[in-house]
Structure 1
Amino acid sequence: MNRFLSSQTKKIDAKGRVSVPAIFRTVMARQSIEDLYGFQDFLYPAFCFGGPDILDRYERQISTLDPFSSRAQQLSLLIHGGGSFFRLDGEGRLMITDLIRDYANLSDEVTFVGRSDHFQLWEPPAFQRMQDAARAQIASAGATG
């Protein structure tokens, strides 16, 4: 397995740590990901994590733009200003920092959501609502053609 798939809800411990699902740690090991780059999702109230290559991908996209354009500035603001590097501890736990907690509105639980080349952290009810809305929209589009 070389993709982040599925979703799991986990408890955040009293010290603000959460165990990353074993299936996600397996993907990280297979891809030799030691440092995670985490950033605020552009559309959803979720915090995204991927290997350093995800930061490289966004920086390549930014480099194709005029560095003074509003689009380049916006992307840099989101990718550079809304992100940071993270590392799992020796027991496979991720520290839920204030940056993550505030952006994703997390309290005592978090839902890990696989998104193929990265994964996201969601507040569990917010993820359920968004998934239900996406399912309804897809079903509606399928029913109408």
Structure 2
Amino acid sequence: MLRSANAINIDGKGRIAMPTRYRDGLMDSCQGQFVCTIDLQSPCLLLYPLNEWLVIEKKLSALSSTNDVERRVQRLILGYATETELDKGGRLLIAPTLRKHAKLQKKVMLVGQFNKFELWDEDMWQQQVEADLLIGLPSDDQLTESLKGFSL
């Protein structure tokens, strides 16, 4: 399971260093192979281990290419999807088009989200967290069914 928020840097070549605590597990599960694409709802990138990406790709292939909305989703997610692989130093190259889309500069956040990572510009991540905390949760009568039974 991929979890926690990690402050990392992008080097001059556009590479990020995968935190060491993830490396062995990712080598076991996906041989260090990933697919990176854009998030359609937030200004970040989605970084999937290859085995998890194959599940997403299957879902995308089931969408209709004749439905405008479904085709747009396919076009954007697949159009930006870029394969990348951990090098011997545990680094991943993030394509320039992806870095530009998410406005990634030197300081970024790698945020574990169960089966994938989100990759955020550090300042944009802080703004998103502050906005989420400010908004808070809706009242009990507005909670989704999934959240009604959720507690920590």
What band does the TM-score fall into relative to the shorter chain?
0.7 to 0.9
Total equivalences in the alignment:
140
Q: Judging changes above 3 Å, is the alpha-carbon distance between structure 1 residues 48 and 33 closer, same or farther for their aligned structure 2 residues? A: farther
- Correspondence for 2:97: 99
Percent identity over paired residues: 24
Amino acid paired to 2:43: P
- Offset of residue 118 of structure 1: 0.2
Q: Does 1:85 align with 2:83?
A: yes
Select which of 16, 29, 32 maps to 2:30. Answer: 32
Give the TM-score, by structure 1 length.
0.84
Give distance in 2, aligned partners of 1:45 and 1:25.
Answer: 26
Contact 2:109 2:121 in 1 (8 A): yes
* Runs of 4+ with >6 A deviation: none
In structure 2, stretches of 5+ residues that fail to align are 141-152
Residues 84-111 of structure 1: CA deviation (Å, up to 9, x unaligned): 1001110001123212220111121111
Match runs of 1:1-12 below 5 Å: 3-12=1-10
Distance change in 2, residues 1:18/1:73 (3 Å): same
SS in 2 for 1:66: coil
Aligned residue for 1:48, secondary structure, equals strand
CA distance in 1, matches of 2:15, 2:64: 40
The answer on 1:75 being equivalent to 2:73 is yes
Structure 1 residue runs without a partner (length 5+): none
The aligned runs of 1:1-145 (5 Å cut-off) are: 3-139=1-137, 141=138, 144-145=139-140
